Chain A
């Protein structure tokens, strides 16, 4: 089974900051990676699919990159509504697996 490891587990940032979250797969997954945003009490929301494709309706300040085992989610200019927890998820094989999450907090 593939394991996903995210870093950092939390990050403190200010509005307007650039934030980068990394995700590493325990084996190569090509570009079969998704990123989600989750706010308290809500279901996760898909942001990025296929490692770098922006889901419809998601602001362009979100971007994803990487392939193989190493991936990155970048928020180019953090907005107040972006404070949330972010998860990566591999879609290369079953069982699907999620990273442990990265909480983006207000500095």
Chain B
């Protein structure tokens, strides 16, 4: 059973870079066949898709965030990471990592989510 776990600072100052890591257990990122994704949820709001990375390193980002987002993968540690630069209070959200099978529809595996607050 694949499990995902987010980790990183819960508080980030405005204008700084938000950095989160998702550690995968019970399955290998390098085996392929999955999009490893980041999704966020503003407090009391809906779900916003941020982007994905494939094990090969190919990525796709939401155009609304593209200029500030970088997703990377470390297959040796079975982790993938999110960096979001120049954050503002509008980036305060619960951030989820999730896995979607290529050619399937839907995210079957999610992390528990981590709240990141942007505040000075």
Residues of A within 8 A of B (CB): 1, 31-34, 36, 42-46, 48-51, 55, 87, 89, 91, 94-101
Tell me what chain B mostly uses at the interface: helix, strand, loop, or mixed.
strand
Listed by A's residue number, 9 A-B pairs whose Cβ atoms lie within 8 Å are A43-B98, A43-B113, A44-B107, A46-B107, A89-B47, A95-B49, A96-B37, A98-B48, A100-B46
A97 to B46, CA, bound (A): 10
Residues of B within 8 A of A (CB): 37, 46-49, 51-52, 60-63, 96, 98, 100, 104-108, 110-113
A97 to B105, CA, bound (A): 12
Known: A43-B110, A95-B49, A96-B49. A49 touches B60 (CB 8 A): no
Q: Quick check: B49 and A44 within 8 Å, CB to CB? A: no
Q: Quick check: B113 and A97 within 8 Å, CB to CB? A: no
Of the candidates B51, B96, B100, the one having the most CB atoms from chain A within 10 angstroms of its own CB is B100
Closest to B62 in A: A95
Known: A43-B96, A95-B62. A87 touches B108 (CB 8 A): no
Q: Quick check: A50 and B46 within 8 Å, CB to CB? A: no
Q: Quick check: B110 and A98 within 8 Å, CB to CB? A: no
Question: Which of A32, A43, A50 makes the CB contact (< 8 A) with B111?
Answer: A43
Q: Quick check: A99 and B46 within 8 Å, CB to CB? A: yes
Q: Quick check: B96 and A87 within 8 Å, CB to CB? A: no
A32 to B104, CA, bound (A): 8
Of the candidates A91, A95, A100, the one having the most CB atoms from chain B within 10 angstroms of its own CB is A95
Q: Quick check: B46 and A101 within 8 Å, CB to CB? A: yes
Q: What distance in Å separates the Cβ of B46 from its nearest Cβ neighbour in chain A?
A: 5
